[in-house]
Amino acid sequence: MAQAAAAQAQAQAVQHQASKAKQPLGQQAAARNNTGQQLSAKPSNGTPMKKGTGRTHNERRISTLTDAQIMAKLRSVVINANPTPYFQIIEKAGQGASGSVYLAKSLKLGGKQVAIKQMDLSKQSRKGLIVNEILVMKDSHHKNIVNYIEAYLNGPSDLWVIMEFMEGGALTDVCIICIRRISSIVISNQIIS
């Protein structure tokens, strides 16, 4: 049950943070009152916002950036180095649409187990989403979610995202198990009724 609670908390945090990721990079949307009027004319960095857009004058949404601009933004938020000297790969934990996940020991963190999501950016059609994901994760730390540790860009396209390791398998597998359990409880209650 602790895994189910953690999975639910992580899903809620990711959903909340994903809504923030749809905003322009580097700023939060201006607060609005219950009538939709903008309450703040400046983001936290003090740059005036472009009227009616929720963006600063010199800022554009990530989806409008070119691949070169997205890669420049990515290089500015990750460590641009070969990560292999800092990790000892233990085993491949899984394979997803965007890459492979490995269980590893972090030599920088005294042998602590971590999960490494390794992606080949040359095979990614929506690199901007990956940049947004990293930006959201960097700002999201909570005891009930799997937290981001760091990310490395090794060469032009080898991205490693280092996360805390959580036992119990893939989050989707945990969610499927929980849904099946809930479904069986509902069915049992309907039979009893």
pTM, two decimals, is 0.61
What are the structural domain ranges in the chain? 2-21+60-181
**pLDDT reported for residue 125:** 87
> What residues contact residue 131 under an 8 Å CB cut-off, 6+ apart?
25, 62, 70, 73, 74, 77
Residue 189 has what pLDDT?
Answer: 80
Is 48 in contact with 41 (CB distance < 8 Å)? yes
Whether the CA torsion 44, 74, 111, 90 is positive or negative: it is positive
What tokens were used for 171? 């989050």
CA dist 133 → 68, 74, 90, 185 (Å): 18, 11, 25, 35
Rounded distance between C-alpha atoms, residue 143 and residue 162, angstroms: 17
R_g (Cα) of the chain, nearest Å: 20
Residue 8 tokens read as 């639910």
Q: What is the mean pLDDT of each run of 10 residues along the chain (193 residues)?
A: 51 50 40 42 47 50 80 95 97 89 96 96 91 92 92 96 86 86 84 74
Question: CATH number of the domain at 2-21+60-181, out of 3.30.200.20, 3.40.50.800, 3.40.50.150, 3.30.230.10?
Answer: 3.30.200.20
Query: Residues 9-14: contacts with CB within 8 Å, 24+ apart?
Result: 9/142, 9/144, 9/145, 10/144, 10/145, 10/146, 10/171, 11/171, 11/175, 13/140, 13/142, 13/144, 13/145, 14/145
- Return the pLDDT at 191: 78
